[in-house]
A and B are shown apart, each in its own frame.
Chain A
């Protein structure tokens, strides 16, 4: 039973355009959400977070949007750069110090 789902295994975007990565969750108790980025042969690195009291959080080229009623969050990267090519994981937590991760989306930014 996958509580956090990333339904697009892969995404290709042209350099300079917007990348939109999506994540859906089923547990209404989740109240903190994270995005991680992972390059091959490295561990995931923290990218951006959002709590359920907000619907948007921005950090430079990265913006995360949260739609609580739809149990959906998305990560926008604009403009996309070739160095953004990686696997992106969303993760959710609800009242504990454990995070549940999604299956990941492989982003490829084409030069």
Chain B
């Protein structure tokens, strides 16, 4: 069974550009999480979904960040406009209730 799939694996963009990160969770998992990891702040939960519905977006840093989950097999995290301080590794993870989260390989975002 395939794990969590994220694309792209690396993204380099210029400040002000729109960035879209994609995630395909493990089939059958009804929870999907988006995290951001930086050296300074560690691993931060941005938002999570249950059955495609956003449950808690309190970790989303600003209105420039938005996330959607149009169906059970796909989610996007969008940054518009991007800024250099958004440079980080963004992880997507999925799970079933009360169980361990399985993480994707991450997207390394660099905003110049």
Q: Do A and B come from one complex?
A: no
